[in-house]
Structure 1
Amino acid sequence: MTHTENLVGGTHFPDHIRVLLVDDESINRQVTTTMLKHLGITVEVAENGKEALDLLQQRHYNLVLMDCQMPCMDGYEATREFRRLESRRATAPSLPILALSSFSVAKERQLCLAAGMDDCLTKPVTLRILQEKLMFWLGLGAAAPAQGGRVDQHQDPVKILDAKKLADLKQALAGVPGAFADLVGQFLDKSESQIVEINQALIVGEFALVQRRAHSLKSQSATFGAMTLSDLLKQLELHARSGDLSAATNALKRVQTEFSHVKTALENERLPQPQPLA
């Protein structure tokens, strides 16, 4: 059997490994897909739980990365249904399903495990954490790491972008020329339109739409290291969930201000970096 050597610690993944990635957000899909390919893993994607179920019944996968909150059919329901179908095939080994969650609280992990998922990764997932989790659940000899996706994200609250998370993302995308700059552009364009949509939804009291857009943008902001923006969006999401118009409106104002700083910082990051003199 041949193996592909990835670029994190010299670990080897078998060439036949196939992963199904289920996520409704295009930017998240692109980032995670790039990481998986960086590790030498074949990846296929689905945009919701229903698509995932269809693919899982048609094709063979070694592991599933399952987003939790998606339209049409969320990750919890899709996992429960797949486990029900899987139980009918007594001879087949259980397929590892790892949750991709924007929440790091214990309650969220319990919900994932109760639905039949095997583990929970907090977004944004770093390349190293992803590699270690895959190694463990694919039975390739590594110990399961503690999930540390958000352990140090608040160490320096005055920073607009988390330097380590940004560096991890750049490393994951390093093998694809122009990928980082392209994703930054997509993120900024999509964020601007979503913030406008949130504002319009608040005006007419569509709290469910505000909650969905804030949740989506929160996850994407964290992917690019904009942790303060991500935290502000989490506050907005919670205020929308409780139907508090005044608090949600104030939270949106803070989001708009922070996003302007994030936009400037990310636009600078995607500029060509000066090369050191020889």
Structure 2
Amino acid sequence: MQFKTTGNEKILLVEDNLVNCEIAIDMLETIGFDADVANNGQQALDLYDRNQYILILMDCEMPVMDGYSATRHIRSREKKLQNSSEVKASIPIIALTAHVMDSTKEKCIAIGMNDFLGKPFNLSDLKLILSKWLETEVINVSMHRHHKFCVAHSINIDDIKSDEVVLNYKFMEKFYLKQKRDGSNLISNIINIYIDQSSILLNDLTEATEKKDAESARLALHTLKSSSDNVGALMFADLCRNAEKTCLKNNIDQTLLSQIYQSYSKVDKALKTILNNVGGW
């Protein structure tokens, strides 16, 4: 069932990762949708109660209240209002999750979500899911690459890699093309948010390790993994992903953590090299 639109409605984006928020908002604006942002499930409920939305993009793991609980509350409120003149139509809720296993998908559907979108997702993925659930024409945005990012900005890749590729430049290239079209500071914004957020998360990870708090370490690693995937730091994201899995077993792998800190220093250097070339451009 599609939700009919009139062209001026908003989407509610529920996501606690600031890097992911910046990228998702840009994608939504590129497609032609405005969005409000909530950083946890409780904020999402507050915004839902005060506003009309045509669709909710709901992260599953968040502080304060997770996406599963927020969805249950929304569905419960819809049910209570069924006989009210102020009833809201049942809103499509799309789960945003890095876990695309069948068990996770089943859990999302069981608690009342309509569909799911694996993270990280690209513009085509987002357009496809919106077209599926909204009765509206999602514009066809061309992502044809006219230039190679590194060539366009004379970035010497040898300066920002040792014996492995630190960044997948296809991720930065798409941000560059968008920035070139609209004159925004998209690349600078994303990189600065990522660096600031990562610094905080790595400090959280260090504190959690010292306290032998595997769950707090896992939460920091989970957020680092997700935002790193989105900026193209794929090898670093994989290290975080592997360390997160060990934390689920209540074990903090010191060898993996050492590799994570070493790898991040290379990611940080690579991103700052990009900032020096295109920062504020």
In 2, the alpha carbon distance for the partners of 1:137 and 1:199 equals 42
Name the counterpart of 2:260: 255
Q: Specify the code of the residue in structure 2 equivalent to 1:168.
A: K
In 1, the alpha carbon distance for the partners of 2:170 and 2:104 equals 25
Name the counterpart of 2:150: none
Deviation at 1:233, TM superposition (A): 0.5
Name the counterpart of 1:110: 106
In 1, the alpha carbon distance for the partners of 2:237 and 2:93 equals 26
| Residues 81-230 of structure 1 mapped to structure 2, 5 A cutoff | 81-90=73-82, 92-140=88-136, 158-171=164-177, 175=182, 177-230=184-237
Q: Specify the code of the residue in structure 2 equivalent to 1:260.
A: S
Greater RCO (CA < 8 Å, at least 6 residues apart):
2
Give the TM-score normalised by structure 2: 0.79
In 1, the alpha carbon distance for the partners of 2:228 and 2:179 equals 17
Q: RMSD over aligned Cα, in angstroms? A: 2.2
In 1, the alpha carbon distance for the partners of 2:39 and 2:57 equals 12
Deviation at 1:92, TM superposition (A): 4.7
In 2, the alpha carbon distance for the partners of 1:180 and 1:104 equals 28
Q: Which runs of 5+ in 1 are unaligned?
A: 1-12, 143-156, 274-278
Q: Sequence identity of aligned pairs in percent?
A: 29
Deviation at 1:237, TM superposition (A): 1.2
In 2, the alpha carbon distance for the partners of 1:98 and 1:124 equals 14
State the SS of the aligned residue for 2:261.
Answer: helix
| Cα deviation digits, residues 147-174 of structure 1 (max 9, x gap) | xxxxxxxxxx953222333333444555
CA separation of 1:193 and 1:73: change in aligned 2, threshold 3 A: closer
Name the counterpart of 1:10: none
Name the counterpart of 2:47: 55
Deviation at 1:26, TM superposition (A): 2.1
* Structure 2 residue 15 is the aligned partner of structure 1 residue 18: no
Give the TM-score normalised by structure 1: 0.80
Q: Which runs of 5+ in 2 are unaligned?
A: 139-162
CA separation of 1:249 and 1:172: change in aligned 2, threshold 3 A: farther
